[in-house]
Structure 1
């Protein structure tokens, strides 16, 4: 049934959605210059970024390399730095949404470098407008995307360029939201169909489903899995991080 709805929307000039399972694959997609690329890294960068801005950070500066983060730390910036799931020794914060509570980041620009999320942003930024997606900003993000009327590419950060479950089920959840508007269609993209199918399986009990995820197990071994339930809780923040001149800004702030 979804296939026929997509065909109807396409013929009526609907807005296309595609999913990319890995940053390594994004170069193979046919992306329009005015597209919006939604980068997601549920465990944990995109969830952490949304939380940092909701906590009062003025912006986030994502950098791909540890050396860049160290340099900016020397310039006086606060830094989130993580590799392999673990906080790096020079960092002010680890890559966890729970690091950003009680206004710890209020009024600050926060530098981020993470294993997968910031690398994905780096791949996406030359391919369209970059927005950050997480379960925590799912509904407000879907509403904003609906109003933009532009091609949507959901880029899963994955794990070191490999497929991951958590980003894929988020992609499916976002597709479900967008399709419910009657405005979007899946644009001949098997990855998007697979993401939606996976979400339809997982959403009945997302926490039980995600227990099998490789990165969930990795975080458990590191003692960093306290944020799992929060990472899959929808709509805890009304924040939409959008990359503007190499900084992620909450596009919903009234002064923008």
Structure 2
């Protein structure tokens, strides 16, 4: 599939991997998460990152790495130019490529200007209209992933713990009832906790309220359904959004484009 352009954004899917290149002014993303491992190489601008309660800056030449499900947000100051390339890689794909059953990134930030430039060049090749060049770009990206992993460090242990047992139980409850988020009273009763204790514990471990966490998960699930070709209106209905405009608002805040535009870019 050739790369597509929507002003500042180019996006393409190559097998299991999705790649993107984006240039923008003052771009900001609300708190959200992804189903895949996310690798972002910053070519221009100083991104301010919030990641599971931690904050750090990533300037030009920096590579940031995020594990599936980690709550993140970030962006640059209003009016500041920002250019980055991104890779969205299923964890099983990367683990199998490196000969492991599963893995997760340990360090979310590395300064690697040379690797950043090589990643940008490889992603640009992946976004070419020439099928042979796209295949070459996919090969380049695959080889570079090993170097990204070495810089980020990986853990081969069990999946990352979500925090306190009650928080994990509530996350499971919210995920199971994603189309209709339980009321606060229902959550507290289910977990045998006071509403105050529930909210305080959840906020401490995730940086979000239960309703905010459910919404970012709903938006993340919407991205997966859109990739499968489901119409935005059907996605909104399936995941309990009030209507398609409600989905549009949250999807754009999290990922920087509307659901319809996201699908259009992947189809070209």
TM-score, normalised by the number of residues in structure 2? 0.27
TM-score, scaled relative to structure 1: 0.28
From the two aligned structures, give the one with the greater strand fraction: 2
Which has the greater radius of gyration?
2
